[in-house]
Amino acid sequence: MLDLNKEGSRLKLTPLDIKKQEFKRVFRGYDRLEVETFLEMVANEFEDLLNERNTLYEEITTLRTRLKDYQQVEHTLKETLMSAQESVNRARVNTEREANLILQEAELKAEKIVEKARSELEQLKSDLALIRAQKDSLARKLKHLLEAELELIDVLQTEDLEVKKEKVSPPKPKALEHEDDKKPKGPVLDQYVV
């Protein structure tokens, strides 16, 4: 039998406690059958409430477990997202670094190509100047040679005329012949060699 007179204490009733509860009998008390019927009804209602409470408690436990799982998934997703973001950042930095290196290498190659082209251009200019100088020198030599040849032709033509005149002209006195013997015969070619 439960002690209903305790104040401030919380009773932990079960439906069985309600059904088995007995009360003191007093004169002119409540109808026993009516009290027992009411207690039976209260016990059934209390049992339903306990079952509902247990069901709700199980649902809460399940929901808490699911919430914990979702929180774990959320945490994992956040970590994965952060890791992916870090990977993207690293890849971007690496790509920028590689692009800068490629650009620097390309600039160096371009500078070398330009420098080589400049050097080759200077060499070609130098070669061209040398060829022009050689051409001018050769042209001068050819000009002198041609002039010498023309002078030689003139001399030969003049001597031819003189020979023809000698054939036509009367013979010279012997005294003049000796003077002619002292002069060299034939054209003097040494003076025309360039």
Q: Supply φ then ψ for residue 64, to 5 degrees.
A: -65, -40
- Does pLDDT of 9 surpass 50? no
Tens-place pLDDT, residues 68-124:
999 999 999 999 999 999 999 999 999 999 999 999 999 999 999 999 999 999 999
Asked whether the beta carbons of 35 and 23 are under 8 A apart, the reply is: yes
Q: State the average pLDDT over residues 168-184.
A: 57
Residue 93 CA to residue 86 CA, distance in Å, equals 10
Asked whether the beta carbons of 15 and 43 are under 8 A apart, the reply is: yes
Tens-place pLDDT, residues 59-73:
999 999 999 999 999
Residue 30 CA to residue 22 CA, distance in Å, equals 13
